[in-house]
């Protein structure tokens, strides 16, 4: 089975890594819209337009299923993609919410949602979490985490200052922290050190859990092959994949 994995840029490689690790597909065709990243600061109609263009492009690769790795696209364009695609399209928000529900049985649990401005403004995580009965929610958009990760600063003083800056008002460890942006799993060690008692929810692991429970996928016997496509600077995407996908 060939999956198309779509992201606004390089960040979706964190989701691709989980899919590859669990051998859910024979082949992944990854498209990062690196010419137009970031999406997280854009208007919903722009995100929808870019997403529909990406869909048309991915259709030419004869994919069987599309995984939207990008939280921002999942928040704003999933419905449009599903309407226009001849194959199934899955986003990462519902899987993230189900991953929370599988781990936190107490509906009074406190949940911190971290995402881009566009993801947080969409209110999608909050809406789905409320539907599941959770109401103790805080949403934050730590925008600087994205460029910090892209600089490869997975630890150290720059990251620590950003963590202190954005999370200073949260005095108690939330029961769960949703890493609602493709980049945030790469700084999960530092976030876990900041909130040692919290369960961190990773979009990649959540979508694997979701696909395994909802779709009858036969695991690939061989290692998943990865084809990398980008709307600009494919070399940077390849370099980042070498770095992030090892181990």
Kindly state the smallest distance separating residue 184's Cβ from ligand DGL, in Å.
8
- The CA-CA-CA angle for residues 53, 63, 182, to 5°, reads 65
Q: Is 150 helix (H, G, I), strand (E, B) or coil?
A: helix
Kindly state the smallest distance separating residue 219's Cβ from ligand DGL, in Å.
26
Residue nearest to ligand DGL (CB): 40
Please identify, using beta-carbon distances, which residue of 70 and 98 lies nearer to ligand DGL.
70
Nearest residue to 1 via CA among 215, 233, 190:
215
Please identify, using beta-carbon distances, which residue of 109 and 205 lies nearer to ligand DGL.
205
Kindly state the smallest distance separating residue 68's Cβ from ligand DGL, in Å.
9
**Measuring CA to CA, how many Å separate 52 from each of 33, 57, 80, 81?**
12, 9, 8, 6
Rounded-to-integer distance, Cα 83 and Cα 182, Å: 24
Annotated catalytic residue, options 70, 148, 167, 201: 70
Please identify, using beta-carbon distances, which residue of 153 and 181 lies nearer to ligand DGL.
181
Kindly state the smallest distance separating residue 69's Cβ from ligand DGL, in Å.
7
Known active-site residue 181: yes
Please identify, using beta-carbon distances, which residue of 37 and 129 lies nearer to ligand DGL.
37
Annotated catalytic residue, options 104, 109, 181, 211: 181
Q: What are the residues binding ligand DGL (CB under 6 A)? A: 7-9, 11, 37-40, 70-72, 116, 119, 146, 181-183
Rounded-to-integer distance, Cα 127 and Cα 135, Å: 10
Please identify, using beta-carbon distances, which residue of 110 and 116 lies nearer to ligand DGL.
116
Cβ neighbours of residue 27 closer than 8 Å, sequence gap 6 or more: 1, 2, 3, 224, 225, 226, 227
Rounded-to-integer distance, Cα 63 and Cα 54, Å: 13
Nearest residue to 6 via CA among 44, 42, 45, 59:
59
Known active-site residue 215: no
Instruction: Report phi then psi at 156, rounded to 5.
Output: 105, 180
What does 71-110 look like in DSSP terms, one character per residue?
HHHHHHTHHHHHHH-SSEEE-SHHHHHHHHHHH---TT-E
Q: Residues with catalytic annotation?
A: 70, 181
């Amino acid at each position: 089975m060939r999956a198309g994995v779509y992201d606004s840029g390089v960040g979706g490689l964190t989701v691709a890594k989980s899919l590859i690790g669990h051998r859910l597909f024979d082949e992944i065709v990854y498209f990062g819209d690196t010419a137009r990243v970031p999406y997280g600061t854009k208007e919903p109609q722009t995100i929808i337009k870019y997403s529909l263009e990406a869909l048309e492009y991915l259709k030419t690769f004869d994919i069987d299923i599309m995984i939207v790795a990008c939280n921002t696209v999942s928040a704003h364009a999933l419905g449009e993609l599903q309407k226009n695609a001849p194959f199934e399209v899955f986003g990462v928000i519902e899987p993230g919410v189900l991953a929370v529900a599988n781990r936190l049985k107490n509906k009074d649990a406190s949940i911190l949602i971290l995402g881009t401005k566009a993801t947080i403004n969409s209110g999608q995580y909050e809406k789905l979490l409320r539907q599941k009965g959770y109401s103790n929610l805080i949403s934050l958009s730590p925008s600087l985490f994205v460029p910090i990760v892209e600089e490869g600063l997975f630890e150290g003083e720059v990251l620590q200052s950003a963590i202190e800056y954005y999370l200073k008002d949260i005095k108690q460890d939330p029961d769960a922290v949703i890493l609602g942006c493709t980049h945030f799993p790469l700084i999960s060690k530092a976030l876990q050190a900041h909130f040692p008692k919290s369960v961190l929810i990773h979009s990649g692991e959540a979508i694997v859990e979701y696909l395994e429970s909802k779709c009858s996928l036969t695991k690939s016997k061989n290692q998943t092959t990865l084809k990398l496509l980008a709307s600009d600077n494919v070399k940077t995407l390849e370099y980042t994949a070498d770095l992030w996908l090892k181990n």
